[in-house]
Amino acid sequence: MNGDYELAAVLGRGGQGAAYLGRAADGAYVQGTSLEELVLQAGPLDANTLHRLALATAGALAELHRAGVVHGDLRPANVLVATGGPRVAGYEVRTDLPPGWYGTPDYLAPEQVAGYAPGYASDLFSWAATMTWAATGRHPFGGADAQEMAYRVGNLPADLSQVPFGVRVVLDRCLAKQPQHRPTAQDASGMLAGGQPGFVPHQGGPSPTLRMPVAETQAAPRKSSAGLVVALVLGLLVLVGGGAFATVTLTGDKDPAPLTHVPVTAEPSTAAAEPTSSGKPESPEISVAGTWTGTYMCNQGKTALELTITDAGSGELEATFAFKADPSNPDVPSGSFAMRGRLTGPVLELTGDRWIDQPGEYLMVDLKAAIEGDKPTAIRGVVDSDGCSTFEVRRR
């Protein structure tokens, strides 16, 4: 790497070459063509090119994971293809990503949608969705707004019917709803290279067992029921995200070619918190008290939500969950119930407590979200109930 870039780590050598981590001194610089641009301009990849792409990117992920790095935001725009050598840099190498770190909604794994921090298994889900897009020009769960996409990712099977069979088998396993049921990046790479079809499930990292919504269950909050073609000369593949990047050279050369400096305007940095008398920065207090309005998604469709949160003292919270028909879904009845909960660090948890106005046989739901910033203007999280997926509200 030349003087404009710092080599942060050589992550090792997989079957497709060495993977590297690095960063630029003053921001992100990228020169090359993204997979997103490539497919939009030239169409889905043919079977052979897709296989090479999948094998190379899975190998790069394996090297990242071996170094303890979670990518966290893998998507077509973050896979770069170039022929003249490595030309990429990011802001900062991260080996830990906190709960509430949100990537691109279309490519989040179900556990990320539910508010958990991304882990190695999350990268495999996002990778498989990205490879499906490369193969078909479509997302494996179709196109929709953020809330509908979150519901589909957590509930519906992926459409891999147009993906070549040899790659499809691997992608299908990586798109498992539960993170512990997905193979590791190393196992995925091995399967693509012709290894054994079996794999060792993820044992470590963030792998929560999720109680994901069931598509057949009615809820509002929840109603009870008995019943190219392109010829690529892949000189370089780059994975970019969250400030980290990894490059894997397909030629197997020991060192990457010099990086080209392409200046862009850097985002202003955020001032650090003032240190306390102990010398450690004091964490700002997060406030979620107030009235929030927005929508949430359940089987009956998008539903309007007004969430009023008050501070009950000693870290406890009280809230009112009031729902009614959204203009796009006029048949939903109105109702409301009281909630109790607390804010532990950035994690907000509210549990249904008692009905104020119960329509028919509807049941209360619980909410969980990871708050971003000490003065949030929006809250996005999961509606914890069968038949529901996510909610999004903004401060009124």
pLDDT by residue for the chain (396 residues), tens digit each?
333 333 334 444 444 444 444 333 444 444 457 788 888 988 999 898 889 888 888 888 888 888 888 888 788 887 776 544 333 233 234 444 444 444 456 788 988 887 788 889 999 999 999 999 999 999 998 877 777 888 888 888 888 989 998 899 899 999 998 899 899 999 999 889 874 333 344 444 433 333 333 333 334 454 433 223 233 333 344 455 444 444 443 333 334 333 232 222 333 333 334 444 444 444 457 889 999 999 988 877 889 999 999 999 888 999 999 999 999 889 999 999 999 999 888 788 999 999 999 998 888 999 988 787 778 999 987 787 777 777 889 999
Which of 360, 352, 359, 374 is closest to 307 using CA atoms? 352
Q: Report whether 230 contacts 42 (CB < 8 A).
A: yes
User: Distance between the two ends of the chain, CA-based, in angstroms?
Assistant: 49
Domains belonging to the chain, first-starting first, are: 5-248 (1.10.510.10), 290-395 (2.40.128)
Report the SS3 class of residue 174.
helix
CA 317/CA 315 separation, integer angstroms: 7
Distance CA 74, CA 204 (A): 20
H or E stretch covering 36: helix 35-42
pLDDT tens track for 200-235 = 444 444 333 333 333 333 344 544 332 232 333 333
> Shortest CA distance to 31 belongs to which of 219, 262, 333?
262
Q: What is the pTM of this model?
A: 0.52
